[in-house]
Each structure stands twice: as structure tokens, then as C-alpha cells.
Structure 1
Amino acid sequence: MTTPSEPGDGLPDPGVSAIMNERRQLINLAYRLLGSLADAEDVVQETYIRWYAMSRQQQDAIASPGAWLTKVASRICLNMLSSARARRETYVGEWIPEPLPEPTEWINGRSDGITVDPADRVTLDESVNMAFLVVLESMTPAERVAFILHDVFRYSFAEVADILGRTPAACRQLASSARRRIHAAHAPAPPTAQQARIIRDFKQAWEDKDIDALIDLLDPDATVVADSGGLASAMLRPIEGAEPIARSLVNLAGRLRDMTILERTVNGQPGLVAQRDGVTVTVYAFEVTGDRIRHIWGVRNPGKLRPWAAGPDDRQTPKQRTVPAR
């Protein structure tokens, strides 16, 4: 994206560097608020357009450009969240947040061949694991914005109130309500090394078409949700229960002999990807509780797999690239 200087002065804007340094923060904020990297990029683009639509005098009058950019981006996200429910009523099948790879693997993340700017990479932590993002989807737009700004990005409730147009006390209540949702639905995850072992055992059992082994690895009340957006073949409704899931996975393995399943980091957690001819066609994220898999999310919508576009490294064998034991 270009960053224009003041028209006619012939000199670069001395504030460009400081303003553009906010880009990573804005991408991180917008992705957590929206669950979509594509939408987050659009929000940040629109935020900068609004900044550069102002005159130099108007820009100079803003005491904290970073705070201004955050406020504008948050309000754009709030508007998008408010309209998202209506848009998703026409979405084909289930909607799952857009999965992200490990930042070190995020090299040629655009399907159009444009190299992703490092500032567009989302910092991976527990606030972007898939289970967390799915719970966020159950919140009201105001709850989600208040919670993410305060609990994740550490903005004061006075600052949150200025963004949401509510009182600090009201924003405190919104964040508290969101926190209760998180605690009720989001069980503590075991250590990453244990998760990686369980996912690796799951992968082996799936490839072996071992129904009993799969059942043993799944929580009795486990669920599988797929997201294709109607652009790829996938089940339109969740599958519930360890045995139905295991049988469905074995049937799927029998139909997809040309697929290669690889261990990868998905939203900061051990996961799997399915590739055909070196191209990622499905990303699987997991929620592991105790020693069982509780939830599986399979994203097949091509529009949500842009950051997973295969590069030279992605064509390596599973032994060369596995989920690290941490």
C-alpha cells in the first residue's frame, strides 16, 4: 500500500514510519475481532485510507496517531461484526474462523503470488487458537470488542468506552460477560508436546483406517465441523460422537487416497493439513482436553487458505517438517 505525502510538497511525510509501524498491531487486533485475515487486511486498508484522507494539519492535531488508528479500526470491526450475522445466514454450511500457519511458514501467503509483508503476520498466542476464536463467535459484537481490547490488548475501560461509545462501567460488564463465556466453553489445554503426540497418534490411526484407535483418541462427545463455503465438497452439518466421527474419517480416507496428511502448527497449536499435489486443500485445527480430542475443525474454503499456499518448503515430507514438541 502506498503512503502519500502532503500533495505538492515534494517531501516524504515524516510521520509515515511511525504510522506504518502501527500496522502489525492493527492486523493483530482486527484478526482477533473478526476471525478473518482477509477482512482484517481490508479493515487496516480502510483505516489508513481514512488517515491519509485528512490534511496534514488535521493529522498533526491528533495527539496520538496510534490511538486514533486503533479507535478507527475497532469501530470498523464493530460495524463489520454487527453485519456479519446477516451475511452468514447466506453462507453455505458452517462458518469457521480463518486458520493461520506458523509465522515462519508464512512466506508466500497470497494466491496471487505477492509476498506477504512481515507486518501482516499475526502474532500467535492463546488468543488466536481455534477453540478461543470459535467461542468469540458466540459473543455479541460489543462483548467481543470490549473483551479483546481490554483482556488481550490491555486497553483501559476508559479507552474501550471511548471506542464503543459506552460508559466504562458498561464496558466492564461487557468484558466480564465475555470472560464468563470463555471460561464456560474453553477448557484448559494440555502442554503443547502432549497435544502434538495426540494429534500425531490421531494422524497415524486415520492413515491406518483404525476405527478403534480413533475412537480411543476422541472424546465420547467429540464434534467435527467443516467449512467449505460451498466452494469445496464437505459435510454441511457437524458430526457428533466418537464412533460416528471415526467411521466418517475412515470412509474419507478411503476416498482420498491421493491426499498427503502433514503435521503443522495451526493458530499456534498442533494441527494437520491435507495436501493434493503439494497444494493445501484442508486445514484441521483441534481442541484437546486431557488426553482426548474434543473438537476438530476442518477448513476447506479456498478463500480461507490463502496463507497456506504451497511454497517450496511445503512440499517437504512430514519427517522434515513436523509440529515441534515444546
Structure 2
Amino acid sequence: MLDHIRTLVETESPSADEAALHRSADVVAALGTQVLGTPPQRDGIHLTWRFGGPTRVLVLCHHDTVWPIGSLRTHPFEVVDGILRGPGCFDMKTGLVMALHAIAELPDRTGVTLLVTGDEEIGSPGSRALIEAAATGAKAAFVLEASGPGGALKTERKGSAGYSLRVHGKAAHSGLEPERGHNAGVELAHQVLAIATLGDAALGTTVTPTVLSAGTTRNTVPALAEVAIDVRAATPGELSRVELALRALQPVDPAIRLELSTQSHRPPMTSESSAALFARASKLAAGLGLAPLTKTAVGGGSDGNLTAGMGVPTLDGLGAVGGGAHADDEHVVVAEIPGRTALLAALIADAIAEGE
């Protein structure tokens, strides 16, 4: 398994690099074919293994990462003192290898579908339809995202939405006749301040302006400016409230036009969607001699939000134990990999039996 994790970690796969994602999908397809004994169905950068009949258990993974090409030069794959490191090892290439090996160990795979997507880190815009189609009729969805602190399973996730606000102004020479322009950058500053007030700390709702851009040259009044907006909320009602507020924004300069577009949207994953599966996992873990399981609620989204939003019982955070997702200290605790893989295999087998 460590060799397979190394293969995936050393195949860099940033979400925004289409060529790298296709190379990564080639590697995942070859590795999965080796471990599972059958090739996947391929849909561009997304891979699906289906094992007989309608899907009863859906296993979700992704092979894209947030790390840019070249990250291996500063963050090489290594295993030192039982700690595995490398870009994407925790989120979530170790979890992907665990899924392959857990499914390979099943005496009966009938009704199991493994879906490995290539765009989860950017909100699954191209794979959402595949996920929802695969989840239709499933009795359980198991998500191999990395665990929470101390190996906690993720039983609640906030819903998330991503937006882009574009500000359309008018260009002019900033030295000769700036008064003829309508400064999209100045307007953007007003809008960012307004957007930052839309969160609700008491309800756990966050609204965060993130990536900003404006202008083309130093001596030109900016005709276009843009801000990306990240929204997280625990309830569908809060997501709707924020979207309505964003769509109600008005320009300070009446000559300027605002354009809001939706980039991604994931519903909340509530505790109700995971409660029965967590209880089942706890019982199975005890039977395997593993430490008692813990659970956590997190603000980050995953494809588990999509399956839970469809009403499919969903358990998340079943992947690697470690920490530092998206950060310089990303790492995996090697000693935890076998037990977590055995737990996943037991969960899948138990869910298959439950559906018979």
C-alpha cells in the first residue's frame, strides 16, 4: 500500500491543470486495474468501477489536489519514523489507496461502486452529475476524505457555495481624464466590505471574500474587477439567505454594473445522515479490536455533502489519519492505515449484507 501511495503522491494532480489530471487519471486507472483486477469506466478525469447489479454501496474518492506542479521538489514523498509525507498524501491519495485495497479484500463485491473524481477540490463541477447518478438508490455512501483530529470520522459538514462577483466599470486614462472612467476597483472595495458583513457567527455561517483582481495597467482606470466568495452554512436556509443577500447587492456608483455567478453549491451533511452508519462503524471497529471511534463536525465540504443531500446515508472522514491538509505539514500516520482499511472493508461488507 505504501508503494501505491507513493505512486499516486508522485503523480502531481492539481485541480486546475487538465493535462496533469489526465496523467493522474491514467495512473489511477492502471493502479486500480492492478489491485481490483478490472479496468474502470472512464469519463475524462473521472473513473468508475462498478461491480454487478444496481449500486448498493457507493465509495467516493478523488485524485485531484490543491498542490501546484513542482511541489514535490520542496515536499518530496517520504516515510520517516512512521509518518508519511508528500503533497496530497492526507487529502486524499492515501484514502484512495485504502479504498482500492478494501474493495479488493471483499469476498463479494456485488453492488459496490467506486467513483474516483478529478475535480473535488474545486467543488466537483464536472463530476456532480456522475456522483448523483451513482448514488441514486444506494443504501450507503462511504467517503474516503481524510479523518478529523485524532482520526475522528466526519459526521456533519457545513453546506458550501462559491460565487464570483464581477464589477463592470468603464476604463479611462488615469492621468489625462480619470473623471471619464468608472472605477471597478473602487466599487469592488465597497462590495467586499458589504459582503464581509453577511456572515452570522451565532449560526456558524461564514461569508468570506477570497481571491480579488482588478485593472490592467497602472495608468488605466479599471474597467473590470472581480472577487471570489466562499460561503459556509449549517442549514439550507442560511445558504439561501446569503445567496439572496448577494443577489441584492447594489453598486455605489450607479453607472457600474454588478454580475453575480454561482461557481459551486453543496448542501449541508447533517448528523441525521450519518448517525446509523457511525453506530454501525463503532460496533465493527470494536469487533476488529480498534480504538473507540470518535466523530466531529467540520466546516469544509466534500462530495459526501452531495450524497447526504440526496438522502443517502453517508459517512465521511474514513480515510487517512494524520493532519495538515493543504499545508506544508501534510502527513499521514502509517500505523493507522491497515486498521482503517479493514474497517472500510467491514463497513462495505456489512452494508451489502444489510441490503440483501
Q: TM-score range by the shorter chain?
A: under 0.3
Instruction: Decide which structure has the larger Cα Rg and report it.
Output: 2
Q: Going by fraction, where is strand more abundant, 1 or 2?
A: 2
Instruction: Give TM-score scaled by structure 2 length.
Output: 0.24
Work out which structure has the larger RCO, using CA pairs closer than 8 Å and 6 or more positions apart in sequence: 2
Q: Going by fraction, where is helix more abundant, 1 or 2?
A: 1
